[in-house]
Every structure is written in structure tokens, then in C-alpha cells.
Amino acid sequence: MGSFKSGFISILGRPNVGKSTLFNRILGEKIAIVTEKPQTTRNRILGIKNVEGAQLIFLDTPGLHEGGTELNKRMVKTALATGRDSDVLLFLTEATSPPMEEDRQMLERLKVSKGIPFLVINKIDLVKKETLLPLMDQYQKLFPFEKIIPLSALQGDGIEILIEEIVRVLPEASPYFPEDMLTDQTERFIVSEIIREKVIQHSYQEIPYVTAVAIESFKEFTERNLVVIQATIYVEKESQKKILIGKGGQKLKRIGELSRKEIEAFLEKKVFLELWVKVEKNWTRNPKVLDSLGYFS
Ligand SMILES: Nc1nc2c(ncn2[C@@H]2O[C@H](COP(=O)(O)OP(=O)(O)OP(=O)(O)O)[C@@H](O)[C@H]2O)c(=O)[nH]1
Ligand SMILES: [Mg+2]
């Protein structure tokens, strides 16, 4: 028997390639929110996976992109900093497209990382097998990847192999976290993210990118198995607030219902959820507001 292995594995890549889907799939629980729109994840999210003889600590990150606002810059900075400090770096791409200019640029910036680089080609359920070899070849020329692993985060194919290959290269170390711990994210944070997910899924154009959610109060009534939550949804303009509330408040009501159901399942408690929409002009460009919403640089 070898000694115990443990280490940090960051998941990086362009927006929308499936980083959070892979993260949730590995953990077997929905910790990170997932939507069909890019730039969903905004924070570094930690999740712990225990296997025989090893503890793998995964870090989901915001998508690597070029964006003009302070929020965009903080998201990319968070991702790159996470990548620099990890033991293994999973660079995620999609099987549906060749390497893009953004991949090239970000890989260049990741060269300083001390982590062992793996290329993970996701969404193989969408392509024919014979397209994979030429794609692998293109990436191999781009960056000295230690391993290339094709998989489908959505369907779960290839996940076991990925875990085995990670364990193989992890450093020998004692576990960093207790065995029964799954994540370092607070319930409040996950609840705010569930609400943000529902907003993104039910809105269009710029609204997903200008929405933030703050939990104003979170009161537990243990004897009644009840939680009362008040949350504010921030947007940047009056017009966006109007759209989000909808005719006669219908849209906000729907977002509230869907959020409440998922929060109830997550907390395993009955939930009363009260949502407010507020305008905070240009908050995505305002360092002070970003700090207060927990989007640190
Ligand atoms: N067909 C298919 N779709 C996938 C797969 N993995 C993820 N997706 C879809 O891709 C979209 C984006 O998934 P996310 O997990 O949110 O992507 P992400 O990389 O975390 O995106 P950001 O947080 O915006 O950077 C969602 O619609 C997922 O359902 C896959 O293996 N196959
Ligand atoms: Mg994500």
C-alpha cells in the first residue's frame, strides 16, 4: 500500500465549455450552477472528492474571457490565480470546436502555473469519434499537456478515467479536509446562486450579465423545519428591472417559485422566499459594490 495522496485540482477554460457540469458530476451533487449561457460562474468554488487512498480537492472557476467590465476582469483574475496555485490544472475545451485564439492566449498565461496540465476535451457526446484524434493533435502542438482525456460531463463518460489519472499524479499528502466535508461554500452562497441561475435561465440578452443576488436575511425556524429567506436581485437599469419583474409581476413570481423548489430540495426544509429587484447603476464596473457582493479581485 502506498501512502495517502491529496491535492488541489483547478478546472479552467473558456466560458460555457462545461466546467461546472464536470465539477458537479465528479462530486455527485449540484454545488455549482449551470446554464446554457456563457459567464455563469463568477467565483472560485471548492469541492472535495474522497476516493480510496486519496482526497481530491476540485476548484471550479469562472470562464476565461476578454471582457470590459471590472466584474469580467475580476472573474478572469480569480480563475488564473486559482490555476497558478493548484497541483493539477484541468484545461477544459469542447470537442465541437478547434482551439480558439482565446484558448491560445489563456494557455500562454497559464505557462507560469506549477500544476501538472491535463487537457480535458468535453462534450464528446456531440461529435463523431473520428474527429477527436485530429483535435488532440492540434492541442498537443499548442501546449505541453501531460495527458489528454476526452469525456462527456453531461453523460458521465470518461469521469472514472479522469479521476484515476489525477490520483496517479497527485502529491503524497495527508487529507486537507475532513472526510465528510463536500464544499467550503456556505448555504447562503449556494442559495444566492440558485436564484441567480433561475434568473439567467429565464432572461435574455444583457440581463444574465448584469444580475447579482444578495441574501438579505436567512432565518431558520428549526422546530417548524422552515427557513425564511429574503433576497435582492440587482440589475443595472430601470428597464432591466421592469423586464425581470414582468407583466403583473409574473416573471419574478415564476423565478421565485422555481428557486424556492430547488432551495427546498437543497436545504431539505420548507422555504419561504421573498425576492426584491433593485437597480444599482453600473454595479459591474463599481469596485465597491463588487466587493460588497463578494466578487473580490
Ligand atoms: N452535450 C453536452 N453538453 C454539455 C456537456 N457538459 C456541459 N454541457 C452544457 O454546456 C452548457 C454550459 O455548461 P456549464 O457547466 O455551465 O459551463 P461552464 O464552463 O461552467 O460555463 P461558465 O461558468 O459560464 O464559464 C450547459 O448547457 C451544459 O448543459 C457535455 O458533456 N455534453
Ligand atoms: Mg461554470
**122, 260: one domain:** no
- pTM value > 0.95: yes
Q: What is the number of structural domains in the chain?
A: 2
Q: Is the CB of 41 under 6 A from ligand 1?
A: yes
So what's the pLDDT on residue 167?
98
The CA-to-CA distance between both ends of the chain, in Å, stands at 43
The string of DSSP codes covering 94-143 is ETTS---HHHHHHHHHHTT--SEEEEEEE-GGGS-GGGHHHHHHHHHHHS
Q: Is the CB of 40 under 6 A from ligand 1?
A: yes
Q: How many percent of the chain have pLDDT more than 70?
A: 99
Instruction: State how far the alpha carbon of 200 is from the alpha carbons of 20, 31, 33, 141, in Å.
Output: 15, 17, 10, 37
Q: How far is the CA of 241 from the centre of ligand 1 (A)?
A: 27
Is residue 214 predicted with pLDDT exceeding 60?
A: yes
Show the cell assigned to 164: 484515476
Q: Is the CB of 201 under 6 A from ligand 1?
A: no
Closest residue by CA, ligand 1 atom 10: 18
CB 65 within 8 A of CB 95: no
User: Which value, to the nearest 10 degrees, does the dihedral of the CA atoms of residues 102, 197, 77, 166 take?
Assistant: -80
**161, 193: one domain:** no
Q: Considering the domain boundaries, does residue 249 fall inside one?
A: yes
pLDDT tens sequence across 5-61: 999 999 999 999 999 999 999 999 999 999 999 999 999 999 999 999 999 999 999
pLDDT tens sequence across 76-99: 999 999 999 999 999 999 999 999
| Cα R_g (the chain), whole angstroms | 20
Q: Considering the domain boundaries, does residue 297 fall inside one?
A: no
Q: Is the CB of 123 under 6 A from ligand 1?
A: yes
Q: Considering the domain boundaries, does residue 165 fall inside one?
A: yes
Show the cell assigned to 72: 469580467
**144, 195: one domain:** no
**159, 195: one domain:** no
Q: Which atom of ligand 1 is nearest to the CA of 36?
A: 27
CB 45 within 8 A of CB 27: no
Average pLDDT (118-128) is 98
**126, 202: one domain:** no
Task: Please state, in angstroms and rounded to a whole number, the distance separating the CA atoms of residues 166 and 163.
Answer: 5
Task: Please state, in angstroms and rounded to a whole number, the distance separating the CA atoms of residues 88 and 120.
Answer: 12
Task: Please state, in angstroms and rounded to a whole number, the distance separating the CA atoms of residues 253 and 198.
Answer: 11
Q: Which atom of ligand 1 is nearest to the CA of 34?
A: 16
Cell 475580476 belongs to which residue? Answer: 74
Q: Considering the domain boundaries, does residue 59 fall inside one?
A: yes
Which of 27, 34, 58 for mutating ligand 1's site (highest number of atoms within 8 Å of CB)? Answer: 34
- Of the candidates 49, 17, 273, the one whose C-alpha atom is nearest the C-alpha of residue 120 is 17
Output the domain CATH number for residue 257. Answer: 3.30.300.20
**58, 159: one domain:** yes
**146, 215: one domain:** no
Which of 10, 11, 14, 16 for mutating ligand 1's site (highest number of atoms within 8 Å of CB)? Answer: 16
**151, 57: one domain:** yes
3-class state of residue 146 by DSSP: coil
Q: Is the CB of 161 under 6 A from ligand 1?
A: no
Task: Please state, in angstroms and rounded to a whole number, the distance separating the CA atoms of residues 166 and 84.
Answer: 17
Q: Considering the domain boundaries, does residue 103 fall inside one?
A: yes
Q: How far is the CA of 129 from the centre of ligand 1 (A)?
A: 20
So what's the pLDDT on residue 1?
57
**221, 265: one domain:** yes
Q: How far is the CA of 230 from the centre of ligand 2 (A)?
A: 25
Q: Look up the domain containing 273 and give its range.
A: 187-292
**151, 244: one domain:** no
pLDDT tens sequence across 145-178: 999 999 999 999 999 999 999 999 999 999 999 9
Q: Considering the domain boundaries, does residue 177 fall inside one?
A: no
Output the domain CATH number for residue 37. Answer: 3.40.50.300
